[in-house]
Amino acid sequence: MDLSYSPEDEAFRAEVRAWLEEALSGEFAELRGLGGPGREHEAHDERLAWDRHLAQHGWTCIGWPTEYGGRGLPLFQQVIFHEEYARANAPARVNHFGEELLGPTLIAFGTDEQKQRFLPKIVAVEELWCQGYSEPGAGSDLANVSTKAKLDGQSAWVVDGQKVWTSLAHVADWCFVVARTEPGSTRHHGLSYLLVPMDQEGVEVRPIIQLTGTSEFNEVFFTGARTDADLVVGGAGNGWKVAMATLGFERGISTIGQQVGFQRELDALFEVARANGTYDDPVIHDRLAQAQVELEVIRLNALRTLSEDQAPQQASISKLLWAGWHRTLGELAMQVRGADSLTTGPDYDLDEWQRMFLFTRADTIYGGCVEIQRHVLAERVLRLPREQRPREGR
């Protein structure tokens, strides 16, 4: 397997690096390192302006086909972009849900009208999206969705129900909602994938305060919320298929640049250990070395997936590896810092390491918890007997 980059790829890398260096040295210099999981509250408006700056220079949606406003870049160059973006410590993007999840879903399943209506505004970062999947009774078991939608005549869907853990709903203009549209249907039958505007009376967003003391996800209540009848993706009743496709995109290529950020965190932890003397503790030393080795394994696995189909099992392997690694890194950070990790200021003002530790508890849950990833691998790759599902006579 040849994993070396071509001269064109290396030239592209130089172009991306130079552009980012220049763009992040002027008015956006202060944004380096801001945002991301557990830190979404940081400089949202400024990061929105940064995303729009990227859009104006053709650096959003770079893997999308050109007919939809993308650049149609090959996979390796998309990876290079994500790597260089992370290496420059550029701020976390604000429109992850539009660019990485909804956009590719619309390209695959949307009508021409839906594509024309929504894709340009995702490319230009003019409309932000959130993901309305999870409910109080439907997380890992997503087929248990009970939010309902029914057609009011031929003109509109009327949506009633509650979503939970909806990241960035408080800043989103639109939500892609999985709702039950066939009365009396159960499990994955009779669901539809609706596009619902957030700015209306029937939508209420209530922030949930997280362990980190900040809030980036929410409860979302739909009470007679309305959306146009034609804003159903993939046809009424086909929501399960479309929702699963979106999850495939969620665990896709954008996570690859992540390792560069992980390496930066690990390097910083090495520095802390050297500074406070724990580096010489044989147990800590061993765990740091182990973390470095495992990160290399994650990197090599990511490179391997590039040369193979982006099959669901690859996405599940990748999620299992990075989520477990990063959560363990959070624990190791607390161990390295010892008693310093146990105290905060009077207003629960956590430092970066404490916030990182607390948020990494979520790594093995969001985007599909690790147990579910193991089920996917067991059943679809190893072909082990299927787990009993609810209502299958357990």
Ligand X SMILES: Cc1cc2nc3c(=O)[nH]c(=O)nc-3n(C[C@H](O)[C@H](O)[C@H](O)COP(=O)(O)OP(=O)(O)OC[C@H]3O[C@@H](n4cnc5c(N)ncnc54)[C@H](O)[C@@H]3O)c2cc1C
Please, which residue, 170 or 226, has the CB nearer to ligand X?
170
- Show the CA angle centred on residue 386, arms to residues 384 and 391, nearest 5°: 170
Burial of 157: CB neighbours in 10 Å, binned 0-12, 13-18, 19+? buried
**Which residue, 393, 387, 359, is CA-closest to 375?**
387
Is residue 250 among the annotated active site residues?
A: yes
Q: Which residue is nearest to ligand X (CB)?
A: 139
Burial of 113: CB neighbours in 10 Å, binned 0-12, 13-18, 19+? exposed
Q: How far is the CB of 125 from ligand X (least distance, A)?
A: 18
Would you tell me which residues interact with ligand X (CB under 6 A)?
130-134, 139-141, 165-167, 217, 362, 365-366, 368-369, 371
Query: CA-CA distances (angstroms) from residue 336 to 283, 286, 287, 327, 328?
Result: 10, 12, 10, 15, 12
Q: How far is the CB of 371 from ligand X (least distance, A)?
A: 3
Q: Pairing relation of β-strands 174-180 and 191-197?
A: antiparallel
DSSP string, 363-375: TTTTTS-HHHHHH
The answer to whether 200 touches 185, Cβ cutoff 8 Å, is no
Taking the CA atoms of the chain, what radius of gyration do you get in angstroms? Answer: 22
Please, which residue, 210 or 310, has the CB nearer to ligand X?
210
Q: How far is the CB of 376 from ligand X (least distance, A)?
A: 11
Q: How far is the CB of 372 from ligand X (least distance, A)?
A: 6
Please, which residue, 215 or 263, has the CB nearer to ligand X?
215
Q: How far is the CB of 333 from ligand X (least distance, A)?
A: 18
CA distance 208 to 213: 10
- Show the CA angle centred on residue 15, arms to residues 4 and 9, nearest 5°: 20
Question: Of residues 250, 265, 331, 392, which has the active-site annotation?
Answer: 250
Length of the chain: 394
Please, which residue, 270 or 366, has the CB nearer to ligand X?
366
Please, which residue, 156 or 370, has the CB nearer to ligand X?
370
Residues serving a catalytic function are 250
